[in-house]
Structure 1
Amino acid sequence: MVRPVVIVALIVSHAPDLAKLDALVVSLHGQVDAVLLIDNASPHPPAELAARYAPWLRWLPQSCNLGLAAAYNLGIEEAERLGASHLQTFDQDSLCDPGMLAELLAAEARLRQRGLLPGALGPLYLDRKLDSAPRLPRLDLPAEPGTIPVAYTINSGLLLPLDSLKRIGRFDERLFIQYVDVEWGWRALACGLPCYVVEQARLQHDLGDRVIKLPASQRRIPVHAPARNYYFFRNALYLARRRYIPLRWRVGELIKLALKVAIQLCLFQQRPARMRHACAGILDAWRGISGSRPR
């Protein structure tokens, strides 16, 4: 007996732009069977928005900020109780193109027909601030036309078949927010279940709070709040000890972080705060501290 396809979308929010969050919910209408909105203790919770779309959308307000990974895991438990066959995870600042989910499901069906079980499938996403599609680590693996095997892709828009998720495991809550998608993707690949990007499935997404242009270059880079440096540095060092993650990625990411420091010292505002958070992350990585940053 073939299990019916039941898609439950998981949206994690924290102090969201309500107009963007509303647009995301609207873009999901007609594509998914239910939405779970896990709000991580927003100062102004999206209660009115949640009421507007109930009962199709269920609001799960939290009394504290659980972080991205723990919030997704909470949503996974609830989605399993709803009988989901697939989950789709979203950040609060994304927007789905029409037909995105249908393209992902069609690609999954083609892969399975060839005996290829995907760990997850993600859309080709466009960063609205950078006006570009960021590069992802491609893999030299079998695929179907229109699908790209990748080591990992962003959480937002990620379609997770429940049978794959049960083999790979849930998201690592020790990472709290940064590299959650990266770690899960490498772990999925270690289980023999790679992720695929589907070229005809499109998602608009915002990385960072704003962008700056590098001097004497056309390249633009995202800018995050200084406090995110803590999680960038701590979690990169934390993942550097994971043996299922290739050495080339671990070394490359540490080099990128060194370049990030150099760029921030030269170009960014709030330099002392950025360096203070980076140093705190490095120190806590050495201490073995994970999860939410200690107060």
Structure 2
Amino acid sequence: MVSYSNVSAVIVSFNPEIDRLQHLIDSLLVRVKDIIIVDNSNKEFNLQSKLFLSENVVLLSDGENKGIAQAQNMGILFSRDLGRDAVWMFDQDSELGELSLEVMVKELNSFDGMVASIGPTIVNYFNSKVEIPKKRTKCNNGCFSVDQIIASGSLTPINVFDCIGMMEEDFFIDVVDFEWCWRAKSKGYAILISSQKMTHSVGEGDESYLGGLVSIKVASPFRLYYQVRNYITLLGRPYVPVRWKVRNLVFYFIKYFYFGFGRSDSAAYRHNIYSGVRDGVKLRFKRP
């Protein structure tokens, strides 16, 4: 059982907007035992000098971009050493709103079975749409059981990492949370979506085409490299849902033509897509 009075929040940051991050910290301080910020910014950014931090906030920073997976693992392990029951994970641009830790803990504890993690219902910051997976099962505690959730806003009992394992650091930035959820499902754990809502930046925005009939999530060339490389890497893993493999094959085919031609940075997109396919096939996990 998880006690809502014994939870650490873990925030992963990278050159954040200071006002948004400070607002998130202030919102969390009244909800959790302590906050662990793992900062991936370079030394020159000097995040500590820009924030107002209380004694309940720990900032871990070595001036290097470790990637989101390693940063999350650092926060999880630090929280475990503090003796916490669970970690509440956030990105730097999450907005809590009325999100209730107490309600999420009650929903997690009331589930009849093993739960790896529970996340809030996500409201897309860019278009205010509620992001609900099409494949979901209604639970008798008011939650939905799904295949995966994003890391931000997720509440995860510390003890489940002993069985499921930590975040896969080789992936660096993309599909880290989904892969962990699928791994958890393969070991008999449930992944839940709470009745609670949270606003979050989904991707880097949306662009519409075909007269607004179709929208596509924007990713920088840098980000698209990791998306493609990690997608190729996951194709051979049996616990990854076939539906996700097929769906994303279509999406990346569309993205190749949508981003790879007719834009000022199309050459960079094509180069990063080719590099992602090559490194994914060769299982080459380079860092920036």
Which category describes the TM-score, using the shorter chain as reference length?
Answer: over 0.9
Give runs of ≥4 in structure 1 deviating > 4 Å: 2-5, 266-269
Task: Kindly indicate whether residue 248 of structure 2 is the aligned counterpart of residue 247 of structure 1.
Answer: no
Paired residues, number = 286
Matched residue, 1:136 = 133
- Is the CA contact 1:38–1:62 (under 8 Å) kept in the aligned structure 2? no
TM-score by length of 1: 0.90
- Is the CA contact 2:2–2:157 (under 8 Å) kept in the aligned structure 1? no
**Structure 2 CA distance, aligned partners of 1:267 and 1:97?**
39
SS in 2 for 1:12: strand
**Structure 1 CA distance, aligned partners of 2:208 and 2:263?**
11
The one-character-per-residue Cα deviations of 1:130-170 (angstroms, maximum 9, x if unpaired) are 21122425344x72242000110111001001222222111
**Structure 1 CA distance, aligned partners of 2:155 and 2:264?**
37
- Is the CA contact 2:147–2:191 (under 8 Å) kept in the aligned structure 1? yes
SS in 2 for 1:119: strand
Identical aligned residues as a percent: 25
User: What one-letter code is carried by the residue in structure 2 that aligns with 1:209?
Assistant: E
**Structure 2 CA distance, aligned partners of 1:78 and 1:238?**
29
- Is the CA contact 1:138–1:148 (under 8 Å) kept in the aligned structure 2? no
- Is the CA contact 2:91–2:152 (under 8 Å) kept in the aligned structure 1? yes
**Structure 1 CA distance, aligned partners of 2:6 and 2:21?**
23
- Is the CA contact 2:11–2:92 (under 8 Å) kept in the aligned structure 1? yes
Q: 1:120 aligns with which of 117, 124, 131?
A: 117
Residues 31, 267 of structure 1: alpha-carbon distance in 2 compared, 3 angstrom cutoff: farther
Matched residue, 2:177 = 181
Matched residue, 1:37 = 37
Offset, 1:108: 1.0
Offset, 1:266: 5.7
User: What one-letter code is carried by the residue in structure 2 that aligns with 1:124?
Assistant: T
Structure 1: stretches of 5+ with no match in the other structure: none
Residues 283, 123 of structure 1: alpha-carbon distance in 2 compared, 3 angstrom cutoff: same
Match runs of 1:97-116 below 5 Å = 97-111=97-111, 115-116=112-113
Q: 1:162 aligns with which of 158, 163, 167?
A: 158
User: What one-letter code is carried by the residue in structure 2 that aligns with 1:284?
Assistant: D
- Is the CA contact 2:10–2:37 (under 8 Å) kept in the aligned structure 1? yes
Matched residue, 1:79 = 79
- Is the CA contact 2:86–2:156 (under 8 Å) kept in the aligned structure 1? yes
TM-score by length of 2: 0.92
Task: Kindly indicate whether residue 282 of structure 2 is the aligned counterpart of residue 287 of structure 1.
Answer: yes
Matched residue, 2:224 = 229
Cα RMSD (Å) = 2.0
The one-character-per-residue Cα deviations of 1:156-187 (angstroms, maximum 9, x if unpaired) are 00100122222211101111000001101100
Structure 2: stretches of 5+ with no match in the other structure: none
